[in-house]
Amino acid sequence: MPEQIAVTVNGRHVAVSSGTTVAAAVILAGAHCRTSISGEPRGPLCGMGICFECRVEIDGQRHQRSCQIVCSEGMQVSTSE
């Protein structure tokens, strides 16, 4: 049984197994990642760190590519919802 890790996405608690990326946690929380210049909701496109569509704020640091960062206990994620 993989170890469970608790994070929050826009204040909501989400439990994920260890090794889960922040992008996966955001989708699990039912949120999108960023809002585009013309106001569209966006989520991950490439899953490999090149498109920058999965940017979120992690522990106060903005513009983090959530597909490249693994969740750690107590991490606070906020998306532009």
Binding site for ligand FES (CB under 6 A): 44-47, 49-54, 65, 67
Nearer to ligand FES, 1 or 71 (CB): 71
Q: Is 42 in the site for other proteins (CB under 8 A)?
A: yes
Q: Is 48 in the site for other proteins (CB under 8 A)?
A: yes
Q: Is 17 in the site for other proteins (CB under 8 A)?
A: yes
Q: Which of 61, 28, 58 is nearest to 43 (CA)?
A: 28
What's the half-sphere exposure (Cβ side, CA atoms, 13 Å) at 42? 19
Say which entry of ligand FES, other proteins, none residue 10 contacts (CB below 5 to 8 A, set by partner kind): none
Q: Is 45 in the site for other proteins (CB under 8 A)?
A: yes
